[in-house]
Structure formats: C-alpha cells, structure tokens
C-alpha cells in the first residue's frame, strides 16, 4: 500500500493545456526491484551510431585491462575512464557476407546483428528486431514513450544506383520488426515539444506559440507538489525545471526568426518549406554548417527523457550511412565526412579523419557528463545507464567491418564491470554484447542475433 508521502512514477505537472513528466524523486521510491531495474532505479539504454568508421591507428589504447591510457581519439573521455568499457575485436558477422555493400549492409543491422535483404524496392528486411526495440518491448510499457529515435539527418528514400540498395538502409538503425524501421526525429524543437509540450487549442497557439513558457503553464501544480516534498526532492525538482527552462530558451531564441511565417499565406508557406528543405540539404552536406549545438540539444533532450522517465530507451544517429556532411566548421578540416574517410592513407586526410572522430567522441563525452551530473540515490544517472557508441566500420577507407569501434559507458545499475580496455578473441560476435546487456537487465533471454554467449569479462 502506498504511503501518503509517496507519489506515482507517472505523476505529471499539469496546467492550462500543458503537462511535464517529472524526474525520479525520493518520494516515488517503492520497496521492490522491478524487471530491468536496480535498487528501484530504472536502467536506461542509449545507442549512439557514428557513420564512416574511425582512424584505424588512433582508436585502441596500447594497454589492455584496467591500467590503460586512452588513445588520441578517446582523449575526450578521460574524465570517464572508470565508467567506460572499450571493447576490441567485436564484429557484426552478418555484415560481412560476400557481395554485400560496404555501408548499407553494415548500418541497417548494426543493432540487429542479422543479414539484411538486398533490395531496391519496398521489400526491406533488417533480419531481425534491433536491440533497443527488444528492450523497449520489455520495459516500454512503464514509460510515456517505449523508445525515442533521434538523429541529425532526415530519412532517405530512393535507390543508391552505385550499389543497388535502397537508401532506407542508410537511415535507420532502430527496427520495431524486421520490416519496420522506426522514423527518427531530427528537429530539436519538435523532439522537445513531443516530450514536454502539449498545446492548448490550436487556434490560440497560432496567435502566439511562445507567449508563455511551458513552465509558466504548470507552475501552480509544481508549487503545490514542492510544498509536499522533502528538501532533497525540492532541490531535485527545482534543478530539473531549470534544465527544461534552459533548453526551452535555447530553442526559442533560435526559432524566433521563423515567426515571420505567421504573416504569410499557406501557399507561400508550402513553397518556403519546399525551398528551405532543398537549401538545408545542400548547406548541411556541402557548406560545413556547424551542427554541434543541434547535436547537443538532441542529447540534452535525451537526458531529460531519461531523467523524467519519459523513456528509458533511445537511439541517436550522428549521420546517415555514407554521410557527406562537411566538417569544415572544425579547424583544419575541409571536405565531406565520407570523402575524407576514404583517405587512401594520405597524411592530410588522415589528420582530418582523426579530427572528425574526436568531434564525435566529444559529443559522446558531453552526453555522459549530462547523465553523470544528475544524482540518483548514492549514485547518478550514468551509473544506472548503458550508453553504447559504435560505428559499423572500423576503417572507412577499406570498409572494414572487423574489430569494430565499440564503447559502452555507465554501470547498468551495477551490473557492468567498467574501467576496462578489453580485447576479445578475433571475430567475437557483436551480438554477445547485446545479450550481455539484456541479461544485465534481468531479462530471461539466452540468445540475440548470432550471439554465442555473454561477455563474461564485463558482466557481474
């Protein structure tokens, strides 16, 4: 029976046409350990994908075990060395089948570990359900959203005539079923509103969508709740609401320039949208638009989703497979990501490739820091998470799918032995990691994809 000072995990702050999910508070604690949780804190899982591989000589630290020095690419993770697993010699065997493409067949199945169906039509098939969706199917009913799928690039359709594959395979890593990829959100404002903003009547919103902050709308409910919480929970709630306000302000400020659209007709809006999409596609791919802030906003929203328990599962694609994003916003980099990844061992291109890799790891480190800064019990949100970072290629120049660059950060609710740089037997199935993650969440599963067992070195 719930005591009078306890509140439900599903408690939300409500106001005029708005609602906000709450973070975990001590007043929500219950004396049980549900499936997939540790000490009543939920375990969160995030899967971050980077296209085009890594500089092959700058990824793996020289020493293995617990006494290792981070490699040049991994230096941004120095503050997280004890929360990190560097997993060497894993491979996605079903991406190496003879005759498959070097990108598409090593992206669509990065989280399924099964062979994809080569097709140029709509008979797509990823071979299986992705690991994030397996987790979501088991715990997703506990949250507002079973899972969240985010990225920087819109989903591509059509055929890559160079290799004879549909471009859908380049755009999706999350598969609800073998034939159903999940669409990803690439707009920070829309992602934020989906989680935290529920507008009042549409007509009124059209008059002035940013007249009031969502926090203003729920402030009466927030104050009422705050009056009934202990000091620790009051501080957590205040910090959480300030985080929402911070993101809201950043998004609103960037979008103020778009308010002029309210003064034009629907026909003009349609044309503006069509032209804007073409311009955006061109500039992102060829003119080196800095996507750092966009990336970090998406990671902030993922953090809030985990913190508020809006969802416990998320995937994020830094780019579609064969990404041609121009990284000239980085000092010393000129040209597109995909082109640079085909470096032909040229020193200049190798250095540019390295800088692009480091930028990705810096964003990963940013996300980890956000999670670690949020306290949960005697630990923090990162302690109760498993955050994977990987690419489907080792070296973009050779399209090598062997010894994949794979990281996992977070202790998985105390079930993962972190602080290790490990080298497994050559061609150890990547699916063994996924099976380990599932079993660490107390799921009754004995296989996943082409797994042959768990990675006992990292499992407690």
In DSSP notation, 203-263 reads: HHHHH-TTSS-HHHHHHHHHHHHHTTS-HHHHHHHHHHHHHHHHHHHHHHHHHGGGGGGGG
Q: Which two structure tokens, joined as six digits, stand for 251?
A: 């998004």
Return the pLDDT at 93. 86
Q: Show pLDDT as tens, one digit a residue, over the chain (460 residues).
A: 344 456 666 666 766 556 677 776 777 665 444 444 444 789 999 999 999 889 989 999 989 999 999 999 999 999 999 999 999 999 998 877 655 656 777 888 999 999 888 888 778 888 899 999 999 999 988 887 889 999 998 887 777 777 777 888 888 999 999 999 998 999 887 777 777 654 223 333 444 444 556 677 677 777 878 877 877 778 778 878 877 777 776 665 454 334 333 432 354 344 434 434 443 454 454 445 888 888 988 898 888 888 878 889 999 999 988 777 889 899 999 988 878 888 888 999 989 999 999 999 999 999 999 999 888 888 999 999 999 999 988 887 777 788 999 999 999 999 999 999 999 999 999 999 999 999 999 999 999 999 999 999 999 8
- Calculate the CA 421 to chain-centre distance: 22
Return the pLDDT at 212. 57
Distance CA 60, CA 76 (A): 14
User: Where are the chain's structural domains?
Assistant: 37-440
Q: Do residues 419 and 84 touch, judged by C-beta distance below 8 A?
A: yes
CB-CB neighbours of 330 under 10 Å: 16
Return the pLDDT at 20. 72
pTM over cut 0.85: no
Tell me the torsion sign for CA atoms 295, 297, 300, 301: negative
Burial classification of residue 5, based on how many CB atoms lie within 10 Å of its CB (0-12 exposed, 13-18 middle, 19 or more buried): exposed
Return the pLDDT at 452. 96
């Amino acid at each position: 029976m719930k005591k009078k000072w306890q509140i439900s995990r599903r408690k939300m702050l409500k106001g005029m046409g708005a609602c906000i999910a709450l973070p975990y508070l001590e007043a929500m604690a219950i004396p049980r350990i549900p499936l997939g949780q540790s000490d009543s804190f939920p375990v969160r899982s995030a899967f971050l994908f980077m296209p085009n591989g890594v500089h092959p000589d700058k990824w793996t630290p020289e020493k293995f075990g617990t006494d290792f020095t981070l490699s040049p690419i991994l230096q941004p993770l120095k503050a997280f060395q004890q929360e990190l697993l560097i997993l060497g010699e894993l491979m996605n065997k079903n991406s190496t089948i003879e005759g498959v493409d070097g990108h598409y067949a090593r992206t669509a199945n990065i989280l399924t570990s099964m062979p994809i169906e080569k097709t140029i039509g709509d008979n797509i098939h990823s071979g299986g359900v992705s690991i994030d969706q397996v987790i979501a199917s088991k715990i997703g009913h506990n949250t507002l959203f079973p899972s969240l799928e985010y990225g920087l690039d819109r989903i591509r359709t059509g055929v890559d005539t160079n290799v004879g594959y549909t471009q859908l395979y380049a755009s999706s890593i999350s598969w609800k079923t073998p034939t159903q990829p999940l669409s990803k959100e690439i707009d920070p404002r829309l992602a934020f509103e989906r989680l935290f903003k529920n507008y009042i009547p549409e007509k009124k919103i059209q008059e002035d969508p940013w007249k009031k902050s969502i926090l203003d709308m729920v402030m009466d409910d927030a104050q009422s709740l705050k009056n009934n919480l202990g000091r620790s929970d009051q501080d957590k709630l205040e910090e959480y609401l300030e985080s929402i306000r911070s993101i809201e302000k950043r998004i609103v400020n960037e979008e103020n320039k778009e308010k002029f659209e309210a003064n034009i007709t629907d026909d003009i809006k349609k044309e503006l949208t069509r032209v804007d999409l073409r311009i955006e596609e061109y500039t992102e791919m060829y003119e080196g638009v800095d996507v750092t802030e966009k990336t970090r906003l998406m990671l902030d929203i993922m953090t809030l989703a985990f913190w508020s328990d809006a969802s416990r599962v998320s995937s994020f694609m830094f780019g579609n497979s064969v990404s041609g994003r121009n990284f000239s916003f980085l000092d010393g980099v000129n040209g597109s990501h995909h082109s640079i990844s085909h470096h032909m061992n040229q020193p200049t291109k190798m250095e540019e490739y390295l800088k692009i890799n480091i930028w990705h790891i810096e964003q990963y480190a940013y996300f980890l820091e956000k999670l670690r800064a949020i306290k949960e019990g005697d630990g923090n949100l990162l302690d109760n998470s498993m955050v994977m970072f990987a690419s489907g290629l080792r070296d973009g120049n050779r399209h090598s799918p062997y010894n994949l660059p794979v990281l996992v950060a977070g202790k998985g609710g105390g079930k993962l032995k972190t602080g290790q740089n490990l080298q497994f037997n050559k061609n150890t199935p990547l699916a063994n990691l996924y099976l380990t993650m599932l079993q660490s969440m107390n799921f009754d599963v004995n296989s996943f994809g082409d797994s042959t067992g768990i990675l006992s070195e990292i499992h407690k």
